Amino acid sequence: MTENKHQFRAIKGTRDILPPDSALWNWFEQTARNTLESYNFREIRLPIFEETELFARSIGADSDVVNKEMYTFSTAHDADRKEEGASFQTYSLRPEATASVVRAYIENGMQTLPGNAKLYYVGPMFRRERPQKGRYRQFYQIGAEVLGQSDAPAIDAEVIEMLMIFFKRAGLTRTTLYINSIGDKNCRPPYVELLREELRKLNDEATSVGRLGPDSQRRIETNPLRVLDSKLPEEQPIIAKLPRISDHLCDACREHFSKLKEELTLRGIAYEENWRLVRGLDYYTRTTFEVIAEGLGSQNAVCGGGRYDGLVELLGGLPTKGIGFAIGTDRAILSIQESGKLPQLPALAVFVAWMGPAAYPTAVNITRKLRQAGLAVELPAEEMRFKKSLGLADKLGARYALIIGEDEVTSGTFTLKRLADSDQKKLSEFELLEYLESERRDTRA
């Protein structure tokens, strides 16, 4: 039967995060949790799938994510349909989580909470993109959002500070922070119109600077801001000639942006302005930012964020201000790995090398006590010769081998061998626990 021979493989664009990498992932996410919680952000756990329409409305029905990249399915059973009272419903795996956070904010009446809602999430997202290094179909994000009544530039600055402090703690230091302001509903529409006119002109002229490709040509009419996102080399000379939003901000937006920059300076955050950093949707306002990291090739953005003051209303809530970011964990981890500056992560502390039936109960008991003291301990299930035990301990990367043989049982002691230099001591149970605990404290410190 050929079916039995089928070799199952992870689906294209998905992958397993195996040990020891998984320890680095956990450490990265835990560092994020610690940092974000120190800024008084709290976790929101969200569903992995939502109504397709939620994403269509929030991300934009004409965006690539919604148009081409979502994993969408419809309700499978008639029974489900009856229960929900809907004739037909389509769901999508979430391609991002801001839409879900906003949906949850409205649904759970969070606008009545005191102060701003400061929420973070950690988890997988799904987009059917062409897989390559740093780009997957199931990828992971850590995101934070602030929702509430205020749009003070200090909120934007604190969110950005928190992000950069986290990257620093995580050892992601070879980064560049780009910021921009894309105006608001007063100053952006006339700018977009100006951009459209200029693009039409440049395109019609077909001058020495060249022509726009088909995607950008289409965007002149649908969403000219998106032309600024283009990475096509032949379009760059044209884009360089386009009017910049910074010259067209209204007074309130200009003031907000200059306050943001002051606030970043106050907080010691280095940034570069990038006038091409845009978000093409109407509800985005003012601040946009992005962080790129070294060692990643073309997929070098490790975080994107911005203000979205119109989104809550767009999804049926009351007028609410909002700002947030999403960090791409896969890429951040890749960049840390490429830098070679990996944190010291907890590894196997003790391998218990026991031999002889009399040694076994002692081995089981001391193993339990060491584990209780917080050490990672491996106890072989079957008896092995010491030579083999020590060889395996070495291969597993244990720091110590705890040798328990007949001699040790008779004398009521343990032999502790440090594998790095073969240094060996004989210790009572009390001394052993003391020694390993203090050593654990030292290596953590």
| Stretch binding ligand AMP (CB under 6 A), from 128-136, 211-219, 308-316, 337-345 | 128-136
Residue 215 identity (one-letter amino acid): D
- Please report whether residue 144 would count as binding ligand AMP according to CB under 6 A: no
Pick one of 57, 81, 128, 135: the residue that binds ligand AMP (CB under 6 A). 135
The nearer residue to ligand AMP, 173 or 413, going by C-beta atoms, is: 173
| Stretch binding ligand AMP (CB under 6 A), from 111-119, 152-160, 246-254, 323-331 | 323-331
**CB-nearest residue to ligand AMP:** 328
- Please give the residues from 61 up to 100 whose contact with ligand AMP meets the rule CB under 6 A: 96
Pick one of 330, 352, 404, 415: the residue that binds ligand AMP (CB under 6 A). 330
Task: Please report how close the Cβ of residue 26 comes to ligand AMP at its closest, in angstroms.
Answer: 18
Task: Please report how close the Cβ of residue 215 comes to ligand AMP at its closest, in angstroms.
Answer: 17
The nearer residue to ligand AMP, 129 or 294, going by C-beta atoms, is: 129
Task: Please report how close the Cβ of residue 142 comes to ligand AMP at its closest, in angstroms.
Answer: 9
Give rounded-to-5 percent helix, strand, coil for the chain: 45, 20, 35
- Please report whether residue 118 would count as binding ligand AMP according to CB under 6 A: no
Pick one of 136, 257, 284, 289: the residue that binds ligand AMP (CB under 6 A). 136
- Please report whether residue 328 would count as binding ligand AMP according to CB under 6 A: yes
- Residue 235's contacts (CB-CB under 8 Å, 6 or more residues apart) are 210, 212, 213, 216, 227
- Please report whether residue 127 would count as binding ligand AMP according to CB under 6 A: yes
Task: Please report how close the Cβ of residue 152 comes to ligand AMP at its closest, in angstroms.
Answer: 23
- Tell me which DSSP letter residue 195 carries: H
Asked whether the beta carbons of 287 and 257 are under 8 A apart, the reply is yes
Task: Please report how close the Cβ of residue 135 comes to ligand AMP at its closest, in angstroms.
Answer: 4
Pick one of 148, 304, 322, 324: the residue that binds ligand AMP (CB under 6 A). 304
Pick one of 91, 139, 178, 191: the residue that binds ligand AMP (CB under 6 A). 139
Q: What is the 3-state secondary structure (H, E, C) of 260-328?
A: HHHHHHHCCCCCEECCCCCCCCCCCEEEEEEEEECCCCCCCEEEEEEECCCHHHHCCCCCCEEEEEEEE
Task: Please report how close the Cβ of residue 269 comes to ligand AMP at its closest, in angstroms.
Answer: 18
Print burial letters for 46-63: b (CB count within 10 Å at least 16), e (below 16): beebbebebbbbbbbeeb
Asked whether the beta carbons of 295 and 313 are under 8 A apart, the reply is no
The nearer residue to ligand AMP, 165 or 250, going by C-beta atoms, is: 165
* Rounded distance between C-alpha atoms, residue 333 and residue 337, angstroms: 6
| Stretch binding ligand AMP (CB under 6 A), from 133-141, 169-177, 267-275, 353-361 | 133-141
Task: Please report how close the Cβ of residue 84 comes to ligand AMP at its closest, in angstroms.
Answer: 29
| Stretch binding ligand AMP (CB under 6 A), from 130-138, 163-171, 270-278, 398-406 | 130-138
Tokens of 331: 């890429």
Q: Which strand (E) or helix (H) includes residue 168?
A: helix 153-169
CB neighbour class for 261 (10 Å; exposed up to 12, middle 13-18, buried from 19): middle
Asked whether the beta carbons of 108 and 132 are under 8 A apart, the reply is no
| Stretch binding ligand AMP (CB under 6 A), from 25-33, 208-216, 249-257, 325-333 | 325-333
- Please report whether residue 279 would count as binding ligand AMP according to CB under 6 A: no
DSSP code per residue over 100-162: HHHHHHHHTTGGGSSS-EEEEEEEEEE--PPPBTTB-SEEEEEEEEEEES---HHHHHHHHHH
C-alpha distances in angstroms, 385 versus 50, 114, 372, 407, 426?
A: 57, 65, 27, 15, 20
Size of the site for ligand AMP (CB under 6 A): 16
Q: Which strand (E) or helix (H) includes residue 49?
A: strand 49-51
Task: Please report how close the Cβ of residue 143 comes to ligand AMP at its closest, in angstroms.
Answer: 8
* Rounded distance between C-alpha atoms, residue 218 and residue 374, angstroms: 60
C-alpha distances in angstroms, 120 versus 33, 41, 109, 138, 302?
A: 8, 6, 17, 19, 17
Pick one of 301, 348, 358, 427: the residue that binds ligand AMP (CB under 6 A). 301
User: Which residue, among 186, 155, 100, 98, has the nearest Cα to 287 in the 3D structure?
Assistant: 155
Asked whether the beta carbons of 193 and 200 are under 8 A apart, the reply is no
The nearer residue to ligand AMP, 277 or 432, going by C-beta atoms, is: 277
Pick one of 277, 281, 302, 315: the residue that binds ligand AMP (CB under 6 A). 302
Asked whether the beta carbons of 269 and 177 are under 8 A apart, the reply is yes
The nearer residue to ligand AMP, 235 or 330, going by C-beta atoms, is: 330
> Site residues (CB under 6 A) for ligand AMP?
96, 127, 129, 134-136, 139, 141, 301-304, 326, 328, 330-331
